[in-house]
Chain A
Amino acid sequence: MMYEIRDLKLSFPDISRKPLLGPVPRIEVLKGLSFDVPKGVVLGIVGGSGSGKSTLGRAMLRLLEPTGGTIRFDGQDITHTPEEHLRAVRQRFQMIFQDPMSSLNPRRRVGAIISGPLRLHGMTDLRSRVNEALDMVGLPRNFATRYPHELSGGQRQRVGIARAIALRPEFILADEIVSGLDVSSQAQVLNLLEELVRDLGLTLAFVSHDLSVIRRLCDRTLVLHHGMIVEEGATAALFDAPQTAYTQELLAAIPLPDPDQPWR
């Protein structure tokens, strides 16, 4: 198992409801989630806004510390591992962000952006690793000298992917990585991701609000609603026969590019 997650809970202090005296009330974002992510699987995490899907992703990478439950990564309990011990594990799981414009430093060239994490993890031979990463995401090697603003949205997202895979991680979290892209570049980025998962034997968690994309890409799907898992299963089965009212409602709400779809 890549991940074994049991009764995961996470809450934030809700400053807006703080009384004059007394403790800050907490708002529970994840309300006890349990699921497994087998190795080599592409897991889709869907849900509406505020369902906790991004928070769940960030907890899995320990960018957030859970308030309850356990997270085991490849058998190792990382629920409360302190930051200095986490670093060794961090190399094994990486993240691709939603908005490449705000997750790529505008003042650094693509080469430096990709080699940054490599240097941090004490790797050598940076130039050839950067070249290799650019090759894998289908960008020309001379892009290493360009700045993010010189690239198109789809190309920027490829740089984000290159940075994540350059470390040769075992697990990648992709958080809404195509929601800002046009359909044509979206198709390219998703096809690339699918190829990389296959070629590098990655395990991938793909957070998205777009069920059509999830259907195309993911082996398993987990539906979140108000911080709870409402349904989890093999993607094809879940889409063919959704068991819960919430999943059915989500599916029925998607406008397909088909004038004959009963929708009203």
Chain B
Amino acid sequence: MNSFLEVRNLNLSLKAGMPILRSVSLNVAAGQVHGLVGESGAGKSMIGKAVLGTLPRALQVTSGEIWLDGVNLNSLPTAERRKTIGAKAALIPQDPLTALNPSKRIGPQITRRLVDILGWQKSDAEARAVELLHEVHIPDPARVMKSYPHELSGGMRQRILIASAFAAEPKLIIADEPTTALDVTVQKQILRLIAEMQQRHDTALLFVTHDLGVVSKTCDTLSVLYAGKVIEEARMRRFFTRPIHPYSAALLKATPTYTNPRGSLTPVPQSVIDATEREVREHDMRASR
């Protein structure tokens, strides 16, 4: 299976020296959905940011490679790297309200990327935007193009960001907690929409989430992160039926389910946390040698 995105031994640290990602490797094949799960601070969003080249200034890649569509991104000069990423990858962000500019109409916010970065004609870009809004099931796209973000609901705004992410026909989408800010009923619609768009456009999808329920509905494969280290990589069904790492198993038991109220919500035992911490320290010792 050919990987569209390949991350090899990525190490990322604060400029002060604290490690954020520890030798992270992962593959996402064309047209596949790969989940990144972990608790807050595990570094799952940072992988997406490293791929898109949008890491905060305080972080630096200390070693490792990121290959996108057979090209080693680190080998490219900055301008060309940005162009490659811009043409091949796109982000669906978490919070639809902060991701949209409140003082600009929706239309220009979708077309900007096409016009400014990819050099499209304005009229072509606008026609494409309307077509995309249709595709994400937004009623009356022409009116929505002229609306401001505050005039639309959270679900509508998230649909617009999905349309915008798919605008330039990228082959990799990074979705960073795309439904965390939404209601369950809206979440379901949005997850369905992302799956539908991903299949229709045959894109690879890197799906960052802390919600194991969402993972089980969206992903083909997944990586579990703890303290910036991948502690388990699995195919989706195997992970939920036979998790290998004790921390993964504990995480599954801690997740509440309404169908099994007594058997869920067991806190992650301290012994499991200690053992996982030890594993991370051992990795650091090996790496510093």
Chain A positions within 8 Å of B, measured between CB atoms, are 48-49, 153, 182-188, 190-191, 209-216, 239, 249-251, 253-259, 261, 263-264
Contact = CB atoms under 8 A, between A and B. Distances in A.
A187 B268 contact: yes
A239 B258 contact: yes
Contacts of A184: 39, 250-251, 254, 267-268
A186 B257 CA distance: 13
B216 A258 contact: yes
29 contacts: A182-B210, A183-B39, A183-B210, A183-B256, A184-B39, A186-B254, A187-B265, A190-B265, A209-B183, A211-B184, A213-B256, A213-B265, A214-B258, A216-B264, A249-B185, A250-B185, A251-B258, A253-B188, A255-B188, A255-B213, A256-B213, A256-B216, A256-B257, A257-B255, A258-B259, A259-B236, A259-B240, A259-B241, A263-B188
A43 B39 CA distance: 29
A250 B252 contact: no
Given A184-B39, A215-B258, A216-B264, A261 B216 contact: yes
Central interface residue in A186, A190, A256, A261, by most chain B CB within 10 Å: A256
B256 A191 contact: no
A65 to B, nearest CB: 28
B188 A182 contact: no
B184 A216 contact: no
Contacts, number: 108
Interface residues of B, number: 39
A42 to B, nearest CB: 13
Central interface residue in B241, B250, B251, B254, by most chain A CB within 10 Å: B254
Nearest to B265: A187
A257 B216 contact: yes
A187 B254 contact: yes
A151 to B, nearest CB: 14
- DSSP class of B's interface residues: helix, strand, loop or mixed? helix
A255 B210 contact: no
Interface in B232-289: 236-237, 240-241, 250-252, 254-259, 261-262, 264-268
Nearest to B269: A184
B192 interface: yes
B237 A259 contact: yes
Contacts of A216: 256, 258, 261-262, 264-265
Nearest to A188: B267
Nearest to A183: B254
Given A257-B216, A258-B240, A259-B240, A182 B255 contact: no
A72 to B, nearest CB: 31
Contacts of A191: 265, 267
Contacts of B210: 182-183
B264 A49 contact: no
B211 A255 contact: yes
A185 B39 CA distance: 10
A252 to B, nearest CB: 8
Contacts of A48: 183-186
Given A183-B254, A216-B256, 6 more contacts: A182-B40, A185-B267, A186-B265, A253-B184, A255-B213, A256-B216
A39 B267 CA distance: 29
A213 B264 CA distance: 10
A186 B214 CA distance: 17
Contacts of B252: 257
B214 A255 contact: yes
A183 B250 CA distance: 10
Contacts of A257: 212-213, 215-216, 240, 252, 255, 257
